[in-house]
Amino acid sequence: MATISLAAGHCANMSKACFGNGKKVLLANDFLEGKIMNINMCVLRPLECSNYKNSRKKLNIIAKLKKGKKHDYPWPDDIDPNLSSGHLRYLSHFKPLEDKPKLVTLSFEKPLVDLKQKIIEVRQMADETGLDYSDQISALELKYQQAIKDLYTHLTPIQRLDLARHPNRPTVLDHILNITEKWVELHGDRAGYDDPAIVTGIGSIDGRSYLFIGHQKGRNTKENIYRNFAMPTPHGYRKALRMMKYADHHGFPIITLIDSPGAYADLKSEELGQGEAIARNVWSMFGLRVPIITIVTGEGGSGGAVAIGFCNKFFMLENSVCYVASPEACSAILWNSSEAAPKAAEKLRITAQEHLRLKIADAIIPEPLGGAHSDPLWTSQQIKTAILQAMEELGRMSKEELLQHRMLKYRHIGSFQECIAIDPKKKWKMKPSDINMAESADIETEVENFKKMILEAKGSNEQTNQALEKIQEDVDKEITKAFISMGLQGELESLKLDLANSSNPLLSLTLRDKADRLMQEFKLKLSKPGEYMGLKEKLAKFEMLNRLIKIKKKGDRIKAEINKKVPIKVKEKLLLLKSAEEKLLQGNEIDKEIVVDVQNTKKELEKVLKSSDLKIVGTTKRVEGSSRYDLNKKPSVLNNDMIAEIERAIDKAGLREKIEELKADISENSSLEKVTRLQDEIKAKIAAVMKAEFLKGKIENLKDDLVSPTEVVLLGKLGAENGRT
């Protein structure tokens, strides 16, 4: 309300006064009651038309009003009359920031900052000294560009999340104003208030009108508070739904841009029906008969993203993320600590690359190195290109085809197959029961015991077979669980049923191909790094046990053949050979006659083995007691000898400085080509000066000591059976 100050002189009883030239009559007490609102710095002269005109008593009225702030909304004063596009964006309160945003460095970007600082220091040194450092500056800049490329092309999920949340990342309105020729923002849900966390409006691209809906983050603290950090209330989603129905009525394609950590989850929003508003949006978007394109520009959190995210085409920026729960919340729930957020981010598969692999996203829109904030205009143009390419495909579809396309997109994500009935009792990808987990967890201990049983040749064949069957049963359970978790259980059951009913040999070939395809798919999913690690380890140990059993069976068969063909006299001499060996181990002297008998026995045994197509490779001593303990120590001793030999070779070749240079290059993230060249050079010089023969002899001795403890090592049959001579 205007403030009016009155200065009154001596006056008589005056009830009315006239003001001006008689054209307008005002009541004096109107001034006192504050009814005059548009008075601007005026001083009133004595009222000449008063009934007391000739009286000495006069009334002076002074009115004063502060000048209001001028604004250019909705239209500025200096619009170019020849302007044909772009001026409608003045209908939005969104203006460029007066102050440039502060430079924000993420934790993983600090090496780049240090390298950039070195370049600045070298340039300052060149300016101060007048010396030519152009070569050094060029080398540092080249190194800097390579470091940027290496860093931003191998980002971890948590690092991409940090980029998606970067304070300087372009907002939805930044992208809209960059890609549209005309833009007018629309407000309100016609039921409550205008939620600033969601912006809606109509914009034109290449002469065609689109309806834009998106989450709007703030560019500074003040804007973030005003926009509620892009967390909408139910009014925002109802505003979006009102605009969607408007676009459906007028035939405007809908572009939704997602950048929100989630819906606002306060008590008031829940009372106003937050969940109902999200669900109604999802239900309604499946019935819209216009093309819908969704682009995730930052982070898409939970229901806050889903409420405007059901579409025909789903695109994600290269460093954007989507998640059901934030990695920090997930790690707090599962590991009771937010420090496990990097691990949670990896397990949640939140990145655009994972969404494309899972066929949730249709394409990834590239970003410049350093993130979208390093070149917002270029990023916006990539978004525009993606929209136009998608509209080329969707624009050729009828309304019914658009609805069918949208439905099939989401059915495909859920692995639904048309015309195949779904078992209502089937549990898809449910967590396996913990009842038998302890039994399968003990498989590693059973494998080690079974391995020891085979090597020490203890227990009967029946015991060995029982233990192997138990391990086989546990491995089969693990494989069955893996088939279920991969979603291949239905195909496996179908194959089993077909094999049970098959009697036609031609059909069996078809079933064999089907089985081969199923096993290829199983092996492909099993081979993914970081998945099914427990099953992979158990399969490897089971394969090792099978090899040990085959070796033992082959050894038993060869021993039986030898015992059949060795004469009794030779066996008696073998006993003599054994007794002589025991005396030798005890330190007793052996008669020369016994030595001669031992030599003759070896020759006779060689003749017997040759007659059986066998060959003596060598002999070894039994390892018992303390000897076995010494044998276990030999690999570590050999390892120490090898390290000492390598250190001697490094000193002899003078490679200490080269190794330090290699360490420095690795720590500074130098180019892969330079690091590889240094490594090859160091390896070649070490190999040139090392005493390879000395180490080779030690390794051969260790191999001989590690051979299985049998008196005679038999390599195998000669001749055509194994091709060895």
Question: CB–CB of 266/310 below 8 Å?
Answer: no
What is the pLDDT at residue 396?
Answer: 93
What is the pLDDT at residue 521?
Answer: 81
Q: Kindly report the number of other CB atoms within 10 A of residue 558's CB atom.
A: 18
Structure token pair of residue 276:
């109902």
Q: Which of 31-35, 130-134, 145-149, 277-281 has the lowest mean pLDDT?
A: 31-35
Identify whether 74 is preceded by a cis peptide bond (ω within 30 of 0). Answer: yes
Statement: residue 15 has pLDDT above 50? no
Contacts of 591 (CB under 8 A, 6+ apart): none
Q: Kindly report the number of other CB atoms within 10 A of residue 700's CB atom.
A: 10
What is the pLDDT at residue 566?
Answer: 65
Q: Which of 181-190, 294-303, 354-363, 581-590 has the lowest mean pLDDT?
A: 581-590
What number is the average pLDDT over the span 356-375? 92
Per cent of the chain over pLDDT 90 is 30
Label the pairing between strands 321-323 and 17-19.
unpaired
What is the pLDDT at residue 447?
Answer: 60
Task: Tell me which residue has tokens 């000898």.
Answer: 641
Helix 626-653, helix 656-667: angle, nearest 10: 90
Statement: residue 491 has pLDDT above 80? no
Contacts of 312 (CB under 8 A, 6+ apart): 291, 292, 293, 390, 394, 402, 405, 406, 409
Contacts of 150 (CB under 8 A, 6+ apart): 669, 672
Statement: residue 581 has pLDDT above 80? no
Question: CB–CB of 247/201 below 8 Å?
Answer: no
What is the pLDDT at residue 707?
Answer: 43
Cα separation, 343 vs 330, whole angstroms: 10
- Helix intervals (H) in 23-82: 28-32
In tens, the pLDDT along 416-440 reads: 666 666 666 655 555 554 434 444 4
Q: What is residue 504's three-state secondary structure?
A: coil
545 against 371, higher pLDDT: 371
pLDDT confidence band for 107 (50 / 70 / 90): confident
273 Ramachandran zone, left/alpha/beta (phi>0; psi -120 to 50): left
What is the pLDDT at residue 724?
Answer: 35
Cα 486 to chain centroid distance, Å, stands at 20
pTM of the model: 0.53
What is the pLDDT at residue 618?
Answer: 54
Statement: residue 496 has pLDDT above 90? no
DSSP one-letter code for 59? E
pLDDT confidence band for 476 (50 / 70 / 90): confident
Statement: residue 615 has pLDDT above 50? yes
What is the pLDDT at residue 603?
Answer: 72
Task: Tell me which residue has tokens 């546990």.
Answer: 474
Statement: residue 534 has pLDDT above 90? no
What is the pLDDT at residue 110?
Answer: 87
Q: Which of 107-121, 344-358, 367-381 has the lowest mean pLDDT?
A: 107-121
What is the pLDDT at residue 392?
Answer: 94
Q: Which of 73-87, 116-130, 616-630 has the lowest mean pLDDT?
A: 616-630
DSSP per-residue string spanning 212-261: EEEE---SSHHHHHHTGGG---HHHHHHHHHHHHHHHHHT--EEEEEEES
Label the pairing between strands 321-323 and 363-365.
unpaired
626 against 239, higher pLDDT: 239
Question: CB–CB of 261/215 below 8 Å?
Answer: no
Cα separation, 702 vs 10, whole angstroms: 126
At residue 322, what are phi and psi to the nearest 5 degrees? -135, 140
Residue type, 425: K
What is the pLDDT at residue 627?
Answer: 46
In tens, the pLDDT along 617-657 reads: 555 544 444 444 454 555 666 667 777 777 777 777 777 77
Positions of CATH 3.90.226.10 in the chain = 157-412
What is the pLDDT at residue 669?
Answer: 64
3-state SS of 521-585 is HHHHHHCCCCCCHHHHHHHHHHHHHHHHHHHHHHHHHHHHHHHHHCCHHHHHHHHHHHHHHHHHH
Q: How many residues does the chain have?
A: 725
What number is the average pLDDT over the span 652-681? 74
What is the pLDDT at residue 693?
Answer: 54
Statement: residue 315 has pLDDT above 90? yes
What is the pLDDT at residue 477?
Answer: 78
Contacts of 125 (CB under 8 A, 6+ apart): 131, 133
HSE of 127, CA atoms in CB hemisphere, 13 A: 6
Statement: residue 351 has pLDDT above 60? yes
In tens, the pLDDT along 180-215 reads: 998 999 999 898 889 999 999 999 999 999 999 999
Per cent of the chain over pLDDT 70 is 63
Q: What is residue 704's three-state secondary structure?
A: helix
Q: Kindly report the number of other CB atoms within 10 A of residue 488's CB atom.
A: 17
pLDDT confidence band for 99 (50 / 70 / 90): confident
Q: Which of 41-45, 345-349, 653-657 has the lowest mean pLDDT?
A: 41-45
Cα separation, 720 vs 725, whole angstroms: 9
Cα separation, 347 vs 341, whole angstroms: 10
What is the pLDDT at residue 92?
Answer: 73
Cα separation, 379 vs 166, whole angstroms: 15
Cα separation, 700 vs 253, whole angstroms: 76
Question: CB–CB of 259/215 below 8 Å?
Answer: yes
- Measured CA to CA in angstroms, residue 345 lies from 38, 328, 331, 396, 496 at distances of 61, 8, 9, 39, 39
- Helix intervals (H) in 57-182: 110-129, 134-152, 157-164, 172-179
Mean pLDDT of the chain: 75
140 against 548, higher pLDDT: 140
What is the pLDDT at residue 36?
Answer: 42
Secondary-structure percent of the chain, ordered helix, strand, coil, rounded to 5: 55, 10, 35
What is the pLDDT at residue 439?
Answer: 44
Looking at CATH, the fold of the domain delimited by 157-412 is given as 2-enoyl-CoA Hydratase; Chain A, domain 1 (3.90.226)
Question: CB–CB of 535/479 below 8 Å?
Answer: yes
Q: Which residues pair with 292 in a beta bridge?
A: 254
Statement: residue 259 has pLDDT above 70? yes
pLDDT confidence band for 452 (50 / 70 / 90): low
Please, is 509 exposed, middle or buried when counting C-beta atoms within 10 Å of its C-beta (0-12, 13-18, 19+)?
A: exposed
What is the pLDDT at residue 462?
Answer: 64
Cα separation, 297 vs 316, whole angstroms: 7
What is the pLDDT at residue 721?
Answer: 38
How far the first Cα of the chain sits from its last, in Å, is 114
Cα separation, 596 vs 601, whole angstroms: 9
